Structure 1
């Protein structure tokens, strides 16, 4: 199996665990070049984080997505996990998501993590209303 398939399998088959002491849940607010992201911490301070080199060519990180960063002692903290929708639900059940992000999630609703913004939304109209107007 090649490296890409292994990474996808790791992401899809990951075991849900709460963040460790040296890990934080943050929100991506801007993507800079070279896999560097501006992230918002739970104390409302914006700082930069770098994507783990293992994920750089295979994982897409969206703006406004929650990620888990770990301080590894370099210039920037490193993004070590990009949680899936099910993982985020697990974190919500265990109250691991900081309150600042939890409030925004409640305001935005559950669909925040399920909508693809690059895909057109199709609005269906009922044909009953047009037939009634014709009469």
Structure 2
């Protein structure tokens, strides 16, 4: 299977999810930092502790996670430093569904609402904003064009 085909299947599997609720042994975590070599430092929903999780082979070079993304992890027994493995990368649709079902941790709720207010709740939460471009509001554009015409 080619790299493109594999990537397509991984994305399809991730996006066409049936919003299955987390199992007993799975936890919702927030990515704090990437530590390289397919390892990520995450913050647990149960306490202030941070620990390392590994990216499974099927996600490597196909799906990327960044700081402040939410993931579903499953604990592993091997190793001392790496405590869990990523099961699922949560999209904003997952967050909404988990909140409706009452499964979403209260620790992550306030921060998510604050970021929606800052972004303006445009509905494009999954699309990332390019920080290298200046953000121009439509109102500013209209003012600029009218002042040029005079």
Report what 2:128 is aligned to. 116
Task: Give the CA RMSD over aligned residues.
Answer: 2.5
TM-score (norm 1): 0.85
Runs (4+) of structure 1 exceeding 6 A deviation are none
Matched, 1:60 2:64: yes
Shift of 1:127: 3.4
TM-score (norm 2): 0.77
For residues 131 and 6 of structure 1, do their structure 2 counterparts lie closer, same or farther at Cα, with a shift above 3 Å needed? closer
For residues 74 and 106 of structure 1, do their structure 2 counterparts lie closer, same or farther at Cα, with a shift above 3 Å needed? same
SS of the equivalent of 1:127 reads: helix
When the two structures are aligned, how many residues end up with a matched partner?
135
For residues 129 and 63 of structure 1, do their structure 2 counterparts lie closer, same or farther at Cα, with a shift above 3 Å needed? closer
Gaps of 5+ in 1: none
Shift of 1:114: 3.5
For residues 5 and 127 of structure 1, do their structure 2 counterparts lie closer, same or farther at Cα, with a shift above 3 Å needed? closer
